[in-house]
Structure 1
Amino acid sequence: MKRPEKDAGPTTGAMSTEGTTGGDPQALADLGWRTFFTAQIADETEAELIPVRVMAVNRNGLLVSGAAVETTVPPYLSIEGSETAQATVGDWLLVDPDTMRPERLLSRLSLFKRWAPGKGRMVQLIAANIDTLFVVTSCNLDFNVARLERYLAVAREADVTPVIVLTKADLVDDVAPFVETAAKLMPGLEVEVLDARDPESARRLLPWCSHGRTVAFVGSSGVGKSTLINSLIGSERAATRGIRENDDKGQHTTTRRELYRLSSGGWLLDTPGMRELQLTNVKEGLGRVFAEITDLAKSCRFTDCQHGDEPDCAVRAAIAAGEMDAERLERWRKLVAEEAENSESLSMARQRPARRSTARPPRIREDTDED
C-alpha cells in the first residue's frame, strides 16, 4: 500500500493561520487548513476575515464550518471588482466576522468537475481540495473499465491520488481477474478489495484518511459507497438501499455532497451517484492514465499519428506484438475525441458576450440532486 506523503497534510500551530483572526489554529488544521491557504491572505483587511470550509451543499446554500463557526452562506459570491465565483463542497472561503458574508473564495489545491449532463453546455463542480479519490465499483455488472478510466483521468488532471476500491467480492468465485484488470488501467494504481459492510475491512482505507486529509468517494449507485461510509464513520448517517436484481443497478441514496468527520481525524466526502461523466479540460489527465500510448506515440514516424493506417506506427506495432490491447486504444481514442469536443464547446461558450444580469452565472452549475 502506497501511503500519502506526510508533507502534503495540514499544518498545525500558529503558522497554519498566521495573519488571520479565525480562532483556534488547531481547529482550522483539523478541518484541513494548510500553509497553501495561509499564503493567500492578501493584506491586513483580509487578515480580519474568518476562514471557513464548505462542509455540505444544500438547496438553500452552503453549510460552512470554521474555528467556532458554523453557518449557512450563499453558493455564489458576487464580489466587487471580481467575477462572480461559485463555491463547492471542500472549498475554503473568507467570511466577514460581523455579517458572515463570504468575501473571497480561496484558490484550490484540487478541483473535481465534469461536463454537466443535458443541453446546457455547462461545467458541474463536484468537490474541491480533495487529497485522495476512492473510485468504488463492485464485482458484478457494474464493473466497467471505460468508466473507471474516466474517473482516473479526472483524478489525475486534478493531481489527486486515485485508489480503486472493489466491493461485493463475495458475488464472484474469483476476485483476482477484477484486481488484475483494474491495476493495469494506470501505472502505480492502488487497488483495494474489501467488504463495505465490515468496519474492520473498511479500515484498510484509513492510511489515506489521516488527520486533516480529505478523501472523496465516487462510483455508480448501488456499489456500496454509502455502506462503506457508514462503516468508516461508525454510524448510519448515509442512507443505503439495495440494487435492482434485473441489471445490478443501484437505487439512488445520496442526494447531496457532504463531508463526514472520521475517527482517524480525516474527512470523507460522499457524492450522489453519477449516471454520466462527460470529460472536459482533462487532456493531461488522459495522458497520465494512458501513459503507455503517450510514450509509444513519441516513436511513431509522424508526430500527428492517429495510430490507424499510418506507416511505422509504434502504437499499432505494440498491439500487433501483443504488448497492448487494441480495445484500450479504442477507448483512448473515444475519450480524447470527447474531451477535445467538450473543451472546445466550453471555450466557445465562455467567449460569448455575457448577459447583463444580476442572476447567478449560467455556465457553471452545482447540482445537489442526482442527475
Structure 2
Amino acid sequence: MSKSLISRRRAFRRGAFAGSHEKVVSAETPLRALGWKPFFQQQLSLEELTDCEPLRVMAVHRSQIEVSGERGDEVVLVNGPLFEDAQEKPTVGDWLLLERDSRRPVRRLERSSLFRRMAPGAKQVQLIAANIDNVLIVTSCNDDFNLSRIERYLALVKEAGCRACVVLTKSDLLSEHDQYREALKGYRDLPVVLVNALDRASVEPLRDYCRSGETLALLGSSGVGKSTLLNSLAGSELAATAGIREDDSKGRHTTRHRALYTIPDGGLLLDSPGMRELGLADIGDGLAAAFSDISELATQCRFADCAHQTEPGCAVRAAMDAEELDERRVRNWRKLEREVKRNSQTLAESRADERAFSQLVHSALKDSRSRKNRI
C-alpha cells in the first residue's frame, strides 16, 4: 500500500478528510482544473479511493459519453444500470467513478447543482447540465431582449444556487444602451455586463466567472452570441458560429449538443444549444428567489390564498397601483407560478403511473412464478 493512500486513510479516520482535500488533489492536478472540489471528494469511500477513479462528463451522445480525468480524455459506452433511469443517468458536468482497471462506470457522484427543464411536448424532465458554479444569462441588444425570458432563466439559476450575471451582447451595434440598463436596474444584486462578443478585451469583466476550477454555463436563445462569447473567453475557436436573420434578430442553432470546454487560463465553459422552450418544474424556491420583491409583498396580503387581482387588502395590487411594482413583472410571476404548478403535477402523475406500471409488472412476474411452482 502506498504511503499517500495510508496517509489519506489516517486523515479519514481522524475525521479530517474534508480538510485534507488539498493534500489529495493539489492545485496542479488535472482533476482540480476540471472542477474537482471537497464536495465530491467527501463522497468517496475508502474502497473507492483505492479501486476507482473520478472522471468528469464532458459531452453526452446517444451511444457514448466523453469523460476526462487524470489520464486525459476517454470514451465510455452508454450501457448498464447507471444509464437506465432518465432522471438519474449522467449528464454534462457530472462526476463518474470508473473502476481503475476495467474502466467500468460504478456510480455517479451527488451533484452540487443541477439544471433541468420539462422536455418540449413530453411529460418528463430533460437534464441540461450538472455541477455548474456560475451562469451567464446571455441576451442581445436587439429584438431578442426579453425581460420575461430573463426572469425565466433567473428562476432556474436561483433554484440551482449558482451565481448569475446578465450579459448583453452586440453592444457595438448600438451607440445608446440606456434602455437596456434601465430595464434591468430593478433586479437586486444582478450584475449586468455589456460586451462585443467578438472583442476579447470587451469580455474581460466576465473572466471572474471562469477562474481555474470553476464551471461556467452560458444560457440564452439562438443567435445571441453564446458560441462567439465562448470563443472569446477561451481565446480560440472552440465552437462554431453563425449569423442571425436581420428581419427578426432570430438565430440558428450552431451548437448541436451540450459540451464542456477547458480554457487555457483555467475554468470550464459549457456551451449548449439555444432553448426556445424552457419549461419549468419543481423550482418553487428558485421562483420565489427570482421574484423576491413580489414574494415578500405577497406575505403581507390579507388573505393567504390571494390571487393579487381584485381581493381587498392585497399588498401586491397596492404596490402596482402606486407604480412601485411593474405590472408586466407581476403577470410573468403569476404565469411562471402556474406553469411550475402544472408541470410539477404532470411530473407527479407521470411518476405515479410509472410506479403503478412497475408494480403491475412485478405482480405479473410473481403470479407467473407461482403458477410454474404449482405445476
Q: Give secondary structure in 2 for the equivalent of 1:295.
A: helix
For the Cα contact (< 8 Å) 2:87–2:127, is it kept in 1? no
2:351 aligned residue: 350
What is residue 256 of structure 2 aligned with on the other side?
255
Alignment deviations for residues 304-333 of structure 1 (CA, whole Å, 9 cap, x no partner): 111111111111111111100111111111
The residue that corresponds to 1:219 in the other structure is: 220
Identity %: 47
Aligned to 2:151: 149
> 1:12 & 1:217 partners in 2: Cα distance?
29
Q: Note if 1:238 corresponds to 2:244.
A: no
* Alignment deviations for residues 120-169 of structure 1 (CA, whole Å, 9 cap, x no partner): 21111011100111011001010011111110000000001111000112
What is aligned with 2:115? Answer: 112
Q: 1:168 aligns with which of 159, 163, 170?
A: 170
- Quick one: structure 1 residues 95 and 29, their matched pair in 2 at CA, closer, same or farther if it must change by over 3 Å? same
Matched, 1:13 2:28: no
User: Which runs of structure 2 are paired with 1:1-371 in the superposition (5 Å)?
Assistant: 13-16=22-25, 26-45=29-48, 47-75=50-78, 78=81, 85-118=88-121, 120-184=122-186, 186-354=187-355
Q: Which amino acid aligns with 1:257?
A: R
TM-score (norm 2): 0.85
Which of the pair is proportionally richer in helix? Answer: 2
CA distance in 2, matches of 1:12, 1:182: 40
Whose RCO is larger (CA < 8 A, sep 6+)?
A: 1
| Aligned residue-pair number | 338
Q: Deviations over 1:252-276 (max 9, x none)?
A: 1000111111222111110011111
Q: Unmatched 5+ residue regions in structure 2?
A: 1-18, 359-375
Distance across 2 between alignment mates of 1:199 and 1:11: 38
Residues 77, 84 of structure 1: 8 Å contact kept: no
Q: Distance in 2 between matches of 1:84 and 1:281?
A: 13
Aligned partners of 1:83, 1:16: CA distance in 2, in Å? 31
The CA RMSD measured in Å over matched residues stands at: 2.2
Q: What do the CA deviations read for 1:26-72 (whole angstroms, capped 9, x no partner)? A: 22111111111111113425641110000112233110011114211
Name the amino acid aligned to 1:98.
Answer: D
Distance 2:86 2:60 in 1: 21
The CA distance in 2 between the partners of 1:45 and 1:137, in whole Å, is 43
Deviation at 1:76, TM superposition (A): 5.8
Please state whether the residue corresponding to 1:59 is helix, strand or coil.
coil
Q: Distance in 2 between matches of 1:77 and 1:133?
A: 32
Deviation string, structure 1 residues 84-107 (Cα, Å, up to 9, x no partner): 831011100001112211110000
TM, length-normalised to structure 1: 0.86
Opposite residue 236 of structure 2, the aligned amino acid is S
Cα deviation, residue 75, structure 1: 4.4
Is contact 2:114–2:129 with CA below 8 Å preserved after alignment? yes
Secondary structure at the counterpart of residue 288 of structure 2: helix
State the secondary structure of the residue aligned to 2:165: strand
